[in-house]
Every structure is written in C-alpha cells, then in structure tokens.
Amino acid sequence: MAKRSKKGISDAIPQEIAPIQNQIITDTIEKNYMPYVMSVIISRAIPEIDGFKPAHRKLLYTMYKMGLLTGNRTKSANVVGQTMKLNPHGDMAIYETMVRLTRGNESLLHPFVDSKGSFGKQYSSDMKFAASRYTEVKLDTICNELFRGIDKNAVDMVDNYDNTMKEPVLLPTTFPNVLVTPNTGIAVGMASSICSFNLAEVCDGTIAVLKNPNVSVDKILDIIKAPDFPCGGAIIYDRETMRQIYETGSGSVKIRSRYNYDKAENCIDIIQIPYSTTIEVILKRISELVKEGKLKEITDFRDEIDLSGFKLTLDLRRGVDPDKLMTKLFKLTPLEDSFKCNFNILIDSSPKQLGVIDIIKEWIKFRIVCVRRELEFDLAKKKDKLHLLLGLGKILLDIDKAIKIIRHTEKDDDVVPNLMNGFGIDKIQAEYICEIKLRNLNKEYIINRINEIEGLQNEIAKIEEILKDELKLKALIASQLTEIKKKYGQPRHSQLIHSDDVVVYNEEDHIENYNVRLYLSKEGYFKKITLQSLRGNDEQKLKEGDCITCTEDTDNLADIIFVTDKCQLYRAKVVDFDCVKASSMGEYVPAKLGMDEGEKPVFMRVQSGYPNGENFVFVFENGKGVRIPVTNYETKGNRRKLINAYSSASPICAVFYEKEKEPFEIMLISSEDKAIIIKTSLIPIKSTRTSNGITLMSLKNGVLLKEAIKDFEARYDTSKGYRKLKIPASGHLLAEKDIMTHQLKF
C-alpha cells in the first residue's frame, strides 16, 4: 500500500505571490475590449452597403455555390451543413438566419430563399419553424441580381476562416438592396434599424440620383414616397417627419393596422398589423383591457390565421361603431405602433449613419466599382479571344503550309516554335492553332472564326468606351435598374394615410355619459351615485363620526378638483371613479389620487375651465382669509397635482368658490363660540396663491376659527347681530338657542 505524502497543505501554497500591478483602465479597455467591440460591429450586427450582414452573405453564397439558383430544392439541413464551411456557428444559429430570408416567413418584401415547409411567421412569436430536416429550400430568382458578375471579379474574394475556400467580401447587388431589405442589429455602443422601401420606387429614385447627384430631398420624396413594409399596414404619413428620416437616417414611422368590418357577423377582421409588433402582444394587451373593463365594446376576440393569411377577429356588441372602436384600439394597443429608423451602415468597415440619398450615393459608388471590374474582366477575355483569332487568320491563306510544317517537324516540342517562325505569330496563338482538331482544318471553319473578329473588335471598342466615360457607366447601371424594376417590381404593400386625415382618439367620445351626484365626506370618502340609483334611497352610509361636506350634481364626463389640508390641489375626472350605491362607503380619495401620508381633501368642486372673475376663497384657523383668482390655477400641461395651492402659514379652516359677481355670505365661528357673518366681497383678492390674506375675525390668543359655513340659515338665527360690514370684526357670542339648535341638528 502506497504511503501518503507527508507534505502539508502549506507546502502546496507558493511562498511568494507576484505583486499586483496597476494598469491604466483606458489601456486595458483598448487592449481587451475594443477588439471585441469592433468584431461585433464589423463582423456581426451592422449591415454593409450590399444590404447584408456577414451571416446572410455567407449563407446565400453557400447556396449559390451549391447550384441552388436552378434545379430543385434541397433539404435545409444540407444548406446549414455546407454553410458551416464559411460560418463557424452552430446549426441552429445558421438555420434561424435562413428562416428570416425565406418566402414562408414573410419577413422580406422580396424573399431570397424559395422555401417549402413551415418556417413560422414574422408576425407571430409563437408560430415556430420546423426543424431543418423537414424543410426544403433553393434560391429565389431575384438572387440572380445578387450574384450577377460575381464570377467576373466584380467583388473581392477572401479566404474563409480556415483558409480552405474563398468567399466574397460583398455581394455585387444590381439594385440598392440595403434599402429594399429590412434589417435590424444591435452591436456594442450602437444599433442599426433599417426599414424596407418599395423596390420599384427605389430603382426610380436611384436612377434620379444617377442622372442628378444633387437631386433634392423633395424630389426623392416624390419618387420614394415612404417605407414599404412586408406585412403591409397603413403608414401615417407626415412629410416633415419623412424628410428628417431621408436627410438624417433617424426618425420614427407610425404604422396602423388595416381592418375590414363584417356587417353580417358584426365583427372586425384585422388583416394587417405593424411590422414592429406580433399578434401575441396585441392579444395580450386586448385581454388586459377587457379584464380592466376598458373594452366593453368587445364580446370576444380570437386569432383566425389560416392558409389564406393573417386575420385577427373582434366580435362586437350590438350598436358599437367599428371605426370609433378602432380609434380607441389604435390608442390603447399595439395595433398602432412605431418603427424606429436608425440607418447605421458599414462603409469601408466604418459605421456611418446616413440618410436615404446618401445611402443611394454610396451604393452607386460601390456599384460603379463592381460594373467597372466586371467590364474589365469581359474586356480581358474578349481581347484574349481576339488575339487567338488574329493568329488563326494568318494561316487562312495557306493552311497547307501549316500542315506541312507540322508534318515535317520531327519533335513535338518543335511544333509551336516552327509555326511561330513560319507565320510570324506568338506562342499563345501557335498553341491555339495546334489544339485545333484535324476535322476543323477546313476553310469554312476558319472563315467562320475569322468573321467573329469584327464583332469582337466592336464589342471591345464599346466596352473601352464605357470604361472611359463614367456617364456611360451610370447609364448602364440605370438600364439594369429599369430592367430589374420591370421584372421584380411590385405594388406597395403599405398604404399611406396623411396625418391630417387620421382620426385622433378622444377618450370622452368613448365614455358613456349620464347624470350623477357627487358626495365628499369630512374623512375623505367620495361617492359617485347615478340619479336613478338615488330615487327613493338618498340615505348615505358613512363611518361613525363622519359627515358629508360637499355635494355636486354633474355628469360622468365632468372634471373635478380637490383641495387638501396640505396646501395641494388635485385634478381628476368623474369617470375615474366607479359608480356606487348610497349604502356603500365610497372610494377613499387620498388612496385613489395617491395623496401624501395624512393628507385629506377639504373641498371638492366640478371645475370646467378657469374663467376670469371667479375666485377661490380660503379661510384659515388664525382668523385670516383671502380670495385667489382661479386663473392662477390654470396650467399649460395636464398636471394632476398642483403644490402650494394656498398659504401654509396657518391650517386651513374652509374653502369656498365664488362665481363672477356673485359674492355670498359666510359665517365664521371661533373656538369660544363667537361668530360673525361677512360677505366674501369684503375679502381682498391677491394675485399670489400663497398670500396669507388679511384678518377677517379678531381672535384672542389661543383662540382659533373652528368652522366657516356658507349655508348657515337653517342652523342659526341670523338676526342676533352677527353680520359685519367691515373687517376685521369681533365675534358675537352665539345665543343659547342657536347652540341648542346646532346640537339638535347633529
């Protein structure tokens, strides 16, 4: 049995630990973080001028090399496997990239992959694609425009990640695919979000820029009217907003769903939704609104997507206006959504945010280089062929001499030199002549070949002429764009609605209106009771010791204000409160409106506007009072809470509202049972909300106002000398009869 080592744990610990070295954080970031950042930006998330990210480009090029531009479809798994030679990622990552490019997924205006099988849908997060072993794909015909010239040196080719094969740096797209294919990506410190535009409009717009590089934005806006989304929808068109996007590459496009109303079934069929949302998000939001009681117009809603396409059905209650309901749904649900535009594109491996015209100009620069390289490739091939034919032409008049030279040459290696010497041709021409089959050594064959010389010379001259003149290069690109528009152009998917024609949601139009009576108690409980409910039952249930302090008759659409004992004013709408019965305690206002701890309302009023000449009347416990014009409480925004509504120098005793030229009497009662009655017109008006006011009733030290009453006739005998014509005034002791009456009332 082996002996255990006698070394202790301490022997395993190094005796000396290397000292920690300080590093400058900027150097660390530059060395360790920036390479990752640049890799994500350049090699993953941001599209280049051909409109593709590296993952898309590698996949499509693999399919091209597999011969999938023609012939039958192949299993998606085959394509995924082959793509791994260029893209060192997992099969699922590659397959998900393919899914978005397929016709079945409906993510693109012009899909690049002709697919068979289930590939999910762009408008649904729950509809998943089938596994790659079940689906089949090939390249769509429009991919001919992506690869035209790729075998003629149109773009640079580089080694793949393991140097076993070549792949293109960019695809030589013959149209501005970067504007036709929608693309989004999140890099590090930046993002890209490019919406799609109509192919026919983009081709026309590009031709306009080719003809006039200084074309105005307005001209392009007339040609490329707006984005065009694969899922359709209705774009709320605002020319100034669109101009900003076209100039800067940044902005937001509002998109509404499109719908039909089925009168026979009394239902709305939503047939197109915004590109930026999904049906699951919409259904979830509608469900929430139904549960909250905010969509009483709908009896049922369901997903009716089938082979014919997208459909979301809403069953309506009898009498509901479908157009009016849709304006409400546009406001409250993602049936109206926005696409955030951020046109970040890689130009020569450098990210730039460009407007539409600038993107077209960059694509034209790129395309000119591609076409030039393609023409130079063709030119070299034609010159090589012409050179061979010119050599063939030299033996036309004496074919027998050529045969004789070959027959009398003893060594195979001497055939080419002897022909060169015999006819004054170079080695390449001589090699070509030597390779001609014996059966082709007849005058007819040779004459036919020589007749090609003139055609080749004309073609070479034409290519050279184009290469020398950039205008002719641009004309060639324009002719290709015209051909593409004719072959692949489609009508717009997204309808345009002018912003002035959009019906804006007005909440009040959707609220049922009826007459109600409002109650506010001293403890802060609020009741909204319909007049129908009050018939024969107006006895209010309250907490022990509580009492009603404010009562108002109004309707369900009215606005109300609450003034609290913490110098704050709150605005609310009657519709915000639920209808209750008189036997209910009501809603607790401080909790409903989110008031501060310990804060209670002391005054309530239905408020419609802030007219001149009307005032709030504040009476304080220290015997002072003030009138503040209601215009001082009008705000620009719809602020729900207003602080410093009145002076905080003394606790509030009571709040009243005085209409224009309608002063009224109020009775002030002190804590030592003395009272005065004054008209509100005696109280001065102050322009500052926090004004302390002036003394209304003279009080001794330690004495406070305990009550200020507007409707006092039924409680007190007012003939006892309480009325005062000047302020400040001393109180008159309440008569015993009045005190007894007051006690009996309560």
pLDDT digit string, tens, across residues 111-139: 999 999 999 999 999 999 999 999 999 99
* Cβ 80 vs Cβ 135: under 8 Å: no
Q: Are 559 and 665 members of one domain?
A: no
* Cβ 250 vs Cβ 244: under 8 Å: yes
Q: Are 516 and 461 members of one domain?
A: no
Angle (nearest 5°) at CA 348 between 342 and 354? 25
Q: Does the residue 664 lie in any domain?
A: yes
Residue 64 gets the label, from left (phi > 0), alpha (psi -120 to 50) or beta, of alpha
More confident residue, 155 or 441: 155
Angle (nearest 5°) at CA 648 between 644 and 650? 155
* Cβ 194 vs Cβ 178: under 8 Å: yes
B/e letters for 485-505, b = 16+ CB within 10 Å, e = fewer, are beebeeebbbbebeeeebeeb
- At residue 7 the predicted structure's pLDDT band, cuts being 50, 70 and 90, is very low
Count of CB atoms within 10 A of residue 566's CB? 18
* Cβ 620 vs Cβ 565: under 8 Å: no
* Cβ 513 vs Cβ 555: under 8 Å: yes
Among residues 636, 619, 637, which one has the least CA distance to residue 628? 619
Q: Answer whether residue 1 shows pLDDT above 50.
A: no
What total number of domains does the chain contain? 5
Q: Does the residue 684 lie in any domain?
A: yes
Q: Are 533 and 557 members of one domain?
A: yes
* Cβ 73 vs Cβ 137: under 8 Å: yes
CATH number at residue 731: 2.120.10.90
End-to-end CA distance of the chain: 103
Count of CB atoms within 10 A of residue 218's CB? 10
Q: Distance between CA 614 and CA 105 in Å, rounded?
A: 64
Q: Are 572 and 617 members of one domain?
A: no
- The kind and range of the H/E element at 364 are helix 356-394
**Among 137, 172, 207, residue at a domain's last position:** 172
pLDDT at 16: 65
Q: Are 672 and 736 members of one domain?
A: yes
CA–CA distances in Å: residue 321 to residues 65, 316, 324, 565: 57, 9, 5, 45
Q: Are 657 and 745 members of one domain?
A: yes
- At residue 534 the predicted structure's pLDDT band, cuts being 50, 70 and 90, is confident
Radius of gyration (Cα) for the chain, nearest Å? 43
Average confidence (pLDDT) over 395-423 = 85
Q: Does the residue 186 lie in any domain?
A: no
- 55-112 pLDDT per residue, tens: 999 999 999 999 999 989 999 999 999 999 998 888 999 999 999 999 999 999 999 9
Strands 495-498 and 234-237: parallel
CA–CA distances in Å: residue 409 to residues 252, 418, 420, 422, 437: 80, 8, 13, 12, 18
- At residue 148 the predicted structure's pLDDT band, cuts being 50, 70 and 90, is very high
Q: Distance between CA 646 and CA 660 in Å, rounded?
A: 20
Q: Distance between CA 583 and CA 625 in Å, rounded?
A: 37
Q: What range does the domain containing 400 cover? A: 365-486
Q: Distance between CA 645 and CA 330 in Å, rounded?
A: 37
Return the percentage of the chain with pLDDT > 70, whole number: 95
Strands 624-629 and 641-642: unpaired
Task: Round the average pLDDT of the chain to a whole number and report it.
Answer: 89
Structure tokens at 32: 């360790």
Count of CB atoms within 10 A of residue 19's CB? 6
Q: Does the residue 96 lie in any domain?
A: yes
Q: Answer whether residue 582 shows pLDDT above 80.
A: yes
pLDDT at 585: 87
Average confidence (pLDDT) over 466-477 = 94
Q: Which amino acid is at 200?
A: A
Q: Are 466 and 580 members of one domain?
A: no
Q: Does the residue 47 lie in any domain?
A: no
Q: Which residue has tokens 């499109």?
A: 258
More confident residue, 445 or 575: 575
Q: Does the residue 339 lie in any domain?
A: no
pLDDT at 566: 93
pLDDT at 743: 57
Cα within 13 Å of Cα(403), Cβ side: 11
Contacts of 156-160 spanning 24+ positions with Cβ under 8 A: 160/85, 160/86
Average confidence (pLDDT) over 34-59 = 87
Q: Distance between CA 24 and CA 47 in Å, rounded?
A: 34
Q: Answer whether residue 3 shows pLDDT above 60.
A: no
Query: Any idea what DSSP says for residue 2?
Result: P
Q: Is the peptide bond before 728 cis (omega within 30 degrees of 0)?
A: yes
Q: Distance between CA 89 and CA 98 in Å, rounded?
A: 13
- The kind and range of the H/E element at 383 are helix 356-394
3-state secondary structure 167-227: EECCCCCCCCHHHHCCEEEECCCCEEEECCECHHHHHHHHHHHHHCCCCCHHHHHHHCCCE
Strands 183-186 and 312-316: unpaired
Whether the CA torsion 703, 737, 551, 731 is positive or negative: it is negative
Which of 169-173, 227-231, 555-559, 634-638 is the least confident region?
A: 634-638
Average confidence (pLDDT) over 36-44 = 78
- At residue 509 the predicted structure's pLDDT band, cuts being 50, 70 and 90, is low
Q: Are 621 and 738 members of one domain?
A: yes
* Cβ 82 vs Cβ 58: under 8 Å: no
- The kind and range of the H/E element at 629 are strand 624-629
| Residues with catalytic roles | 134
pLDDT at 370: 96
Q: Are 463 and 531 members of one domain?
A: no
Q: Are 695 and 672 members of one domain?
A: yes
Q: Does the residue 303 lie in any domain?
A: yes
Structure tokens at 118: 């289930």
Q: Answer whether residue 665 shows pLDDT above 70.
A: yes
Cα within 13 Å of Cα(60), Cβ side: 31
Q: Which amino acid is at 6?
A: K
Q: Answer whether residue 2 shows pLDDT above 50.
A: no
**Among 142, 172, 202, residue at a domain's last position:** 172
Q: Are 619 and 721 members of one domain?
A: yes
Average confidence (pLDDT) over 607-632 = 92
Which of 200-214, 389-403, 702-716 is the least confident region?
A: 389-403
Angle (nearest 5°) at CA 226 between 220 and 227? 125
CATH number at residue 113: 3.90.199.10
Among residues 296, 9, 240, 58, which one has the least CA distance to residue 165? 58
pLDDT at 713: 81
**Among 434, 468, 486, residue at a domain's last position:** 486
Q: Distance between CA 89 and CA 80 in Å, rounded?
A: 10
Q: Which residue has tokens 């004789």?
A: 404
CATH number at residue 455: 1.10.268.10
Among residues 175, 161, 157, 167, which one has the least CA distance to residue 50? 175
pLDDT at 97: 95
Average confidence (pLDDT) over 285-292 = 92
Q: Are 590 and 679 members of one domain?
A: no
Among residues 131, 70, 49, which one has the least CA distance to residue 98? 131
* Cβ 624 vs Cβ 556: under 8 Å: no
Whether the CA torsion 203, 209, 212, 215 is positive or negative: it is positive
- 157-181 pLDDT per residue, tens: 999 999 999 999 999 999 999 999 9
Q: Answer whether residue 186 shows pLDDT above 90.
A: no
Chain length of the chain: 746
pLDDT at 484: 97
Q: Does the residue 285 lie in any domain?
A: yes
List, in sequence order, every beta strand (DSSP E) within 27-147. 74-75, 113-116, 136-139
